Amino acid sequence: MEIVIQTLSRWYNLESRDLPWRHTRDPYLIWVSEIILQQTRVAQGLSYYERFVSQLPDIQSLARVDEGEVLKLWQGLGYYSRARNMHRAARMVVDELNGVFPSTFQDIQRLPGVGLYTAAAIASFAFGEKVPAIDGNVKRVGARLFGLFDDIQSQSFQKKLFLLLQDAMKTADANIFNQAMIELGATLCTPTQPQCDVCPLADACIARLQQLQKQLPVSQKKQKPVNKYFYYVDIRCGNQHAVVRRPDQGIWSHLHEFPLLEGDSDAWELDRVLGEWGIVEKLTVEGQKSFKHQLTHQTIHAKCWYLCLPDNKFVQADGWQWLEEASILSLPLHRLMEKMIRFT
């Protein structure tokens, strides 16, 4: 196995992608990159990373700003709980740990929003701790390399792979080993059509030797997304629009949007929507638009009506704010709200 590890390390040093977070041992910068890359492809996440660390270059600067600024920087990435947890974690490090980022696998896991993989990545990349960093790419590589037929989401698979990788990396540089395994899964050992002919682990890979690449890894079928029906109204009065801040719980918490009602079907019409708010004022309908927005476990079918009130006839409803469009655009918004604003 030691020869295999050496071959993997040489391949990584020669063939790996040049990414900014790989040129640092700063745990803050590594942490930011890892959180951004959760549920986000490198090509999309790179520009967000560069913008984020240019404006918030260290954990002290992240802790100082308010949550709204963090969410605005995160706008468009989705999974906004990642940004909220980062902000909470930064304040925890500054307030409780004297601004010193924790340096061990166990201690890093105590930060809000940090799971096993992220803690292992930071511990190994920044501090050289010999702990396997197992993300989706490494699960796929490991299942094929070691011939593991347990479902990759199962605890048994996770435990087996952790022990196998922990043993394999005993004599390896922890940073290079984990980076190389992740890189291998991202670039060569892909879900379909793995490039076994140029893989540095080909001679040791059970899946390749037994022609099991299509059978491994084993994974249960994904859950079918649930349909949700969202009804929005963009009510304009003069040059101001009604907006609301989403509640603490649920998707897009603390982000801003037009007033919303969630329906139980796609058949709601404007009169019913306005009636739910008790709006009786005369409104001019300037247009309407339907949107389909896909989340991991939800398909949102949204309709937005663009309405106009007579000047100075503001409607007051719980939580509504009346703001000019420039002020709305300065708020943290979710991607569907961006689409609706662009339509206006």
Query: Are residues 177 and 255 located together in one domain of the fold?
Result: no
Give the tens place of pLDDT for each residue, 33-90: 999 999 899 999 999 999 999 999 999 999 999 999 999 999 999 999 999 999 999 9
Query: Are residues 144 and 232 located together in one domain of the fold?
Result: no
Contact by Cβ (8 Å): 61, 85: no
**Torsion-angle region of 28 (φ positive above 0: left; ψ -120 to 50: alpha; else: beta):** alpha
Report if residue 217 sits inside a domain.
no
Give the tens place of pLDDT for each residue, 209-238: 999 999 999 998 777 889 999 999 999 999
Query: Are residues 39 and 146 located together in one domain of the fold?
Result: yes
Query: Are residues 187 and 231 located together in one domain of the fold?
Result: no
Query: Are residues 52 and 179 located together in one domain of the fold?
Result: yes
Residue span of the structural domain in which 203 resides: 2-209
Report if residue 256 sits inside a domain.
yes
Q: Which of 15, 34, 129, 286 is catalytic?
A: 34
Whether 34 sits among the annotated catalytic residues: the reply is: yes
Domain final residue, candidates 180, 209, 238: 209
Strand partners of residue 245: 256
Report if residue 215 sits inside a domain.
no
Cα 220 from Cα 326, distance rounded (Å): 46
Residue 261: CATH number of its domain: 3.90.79.10
Cα 33 from Cα 23, distance rounded (Å): 12
Report if residue 204 sits inside a domain.
yes
Query: Are residues 56 and 117 located together in one domain of the fold?
Result: yes
Beta strands 240-245 and 284-294 are unpaired
Enumerate helices (H) and strands (E) in the chain, giving the number of each. 15, 7
How much is the average pLDDT of 317-331? 94
Lowest mean pLDDT among 147-151, 182-186, 271-275: 271-275
Residue 49: CATH number of its domain: 1.10.340.30
Q: For position 223, what pLDDT does the model report?
A: 75
Give the tens place of pLDDT for each residue, 95-147: 999 999 999 999 999 999 999 999 999 999 999 999 999 999 999 999 999 99
Q: Indicate the number of domains in the chain.
A: 2
Q: For position 344, what pLDDT does the model report?
A: 60
Side-chain-side CA neighbours of 52 within 13 Å: the count stands at 30
- 289: enclosing H helix or E strand: strand 284-294
